[in-house]
Amino acid sequence: MDKTVAMVDGREVRLSNLDKVFWPEGFTKAHLVKYYMDMAPVIIPHLRNRPLVMKRYPDGVNGQSFYQKECPEYAPDWIETYPIWHSEKVINYIVCNDAATLAWLANQACVEIHAWLSVLDNVDYPDTAVIDLDPADGVMFSDVMDIALLCRRALEEFGLAPFVKTSGAGGLHLFIPIISEYPFPVVTFAMQHIAGLIAGVYPRKATIERVVARRKGKVYLDYLQNGRGRTMAFQYSLRPLPGAPVSTPLVWEEVEKMQVEPPAFNIQTIFKRLDKYGDLLEDMSRCRRSLSGLLEAAGYKKPKDTVIRPLGKDQPAQATLNIK
């Protein structure tokens, strides 16, 4: 097993099997590691202080893959972790706040970077809501963009500021920066209301049907990704698909003009796009808005005996919904 040691931000990062082919086009593990090292200044601000889930492909994107939440025991002692309680056990999640950690993750064959929608100091109260627009087989990407625009309009009606990115596959992700004031079940309820509105006004092309076989010809508005512990491929994550596509932030004008071709955003083109646009999600943290207006319209009432407050580091989340 060939090994190399790279110095990254003063840390020794041991790299191995850099010649192994990871994508059928010939991109190797070295390309994977170099991509994340080069992208670190752009990616890390989005990952900072968020628990991460690794999706690893040790034999390349056509091989077996698995999700890993727990930081492995063999990780260097400088890898930061954070314990989170899940029903009957505590999971020590990796936290990626520096380029050395990102390079180490890439060397673990972590092709996709998945992150929580909350940060460590308020881990059970997300500061980002999401809607995953997932087209059924055969659905035109123009239909996905149409539905994204409907979602944008609905969210803006409630004072929210959605951002949009490609999923890196055939769909779009809406990321909605919110004030960290409601727990995950309440945020899920708010996004369910938006998804239901869109499916109601555009039933020919939009659905919230969870059974895949019943989504034929439609775009699934997945609001359930807002659940506690659920994660999505974050911005600029590589995807395990032909061409090494990248989950890429978009300008809304590109969507309005139907000028988006997801395969065009990949490991070879993303840097030119960054040179042109910069990080299109850089302003997300300055656009956080309250969900209170949307929740009121959706019929949510906070129980009188429920206090919404940050939880302690080892406290499990509990939330009660009181729907009219």
pLDDT in tens, 259-286: 999 999 999 999 999 999 999 999 999 9
Two structure tokens written together for 251: 């300008």
Return the CATH number at 182: 3.90.920.10
Indicate whether 196 belongs to any domain: yes
Are 123 and 316 within 8 A, CB to CB?
A: no
Are 165 and 172 within 8 A, CB to CB?
A: yes
Residues 91 and 216 in one domain: no
Domains identified in the chain, total number:
2
Residues 160 and 267 in one domain: yes
Tokens 């974050």 belong to 234
Question: What's the rounded Cα separation, in Å, for the pair 247 and 106?
Answer: 16
Question: What's the rounded Cα separation, in Å, for the pair 111 and 56?
Answer: 6
Residues 162 and 77 in one domain: no
Tally of CB atoms within 10 A around 300: 19
Range of the domain at 178: 128-231+242-298
**Global pTM value:** 0.90
For 112-167, what is each residue's pLDDT tens digit? 999 999 999 999 999 999 999 999 988 999 999 999 999 999 999 999 999 999 99
Burial (CB < 10 A; 0-12, 13-18, 19+), residue 297, is middle
